[in-house]
Amino acid sequence: MFSEPDAGSDLANVTTSAIAVPGGWELNGQKVWTSRAAYADWGVCLARTDPEAPKHRGLTMFAVRMSAPGVDVRPLRQMNGDAHFSEVFLSGAIAADEDRIGDVGRGWAVTTSLLAHERAGADRSAPIAQATSWPVWLAQLAAAGHLHDPVMRDRAIRLYCYDEVIRFTQLRAAASARAGRRPGPEGSGLKLHGARSFKERVDLMASAAGAIALLDDWDGAVDFLTGPSMSIRGGTDEIQRNILGERVLGLPPEPRTDRDIPWSRSRRGLTA
Catalytic annotation, residues: 118
Give Cβ neighbours of residue 91 (< 8 Å, ≥ 6 apart): 28, 70, 72
The one-character DSSP state at 211 is: G
Residues 6+ apart with CB under 8 A from 2: 11, 14, 31, 34, 44, 46, 111
DSSP 65-108: ETTSTTEEEEEE--TTS---EEEEEEEEEEEEGGGEESSTT-HH
| Whole-number Å distance between alpha carbons of 107 and 58 | 8
Q: In one letter, which amino acid is 25?
A: W
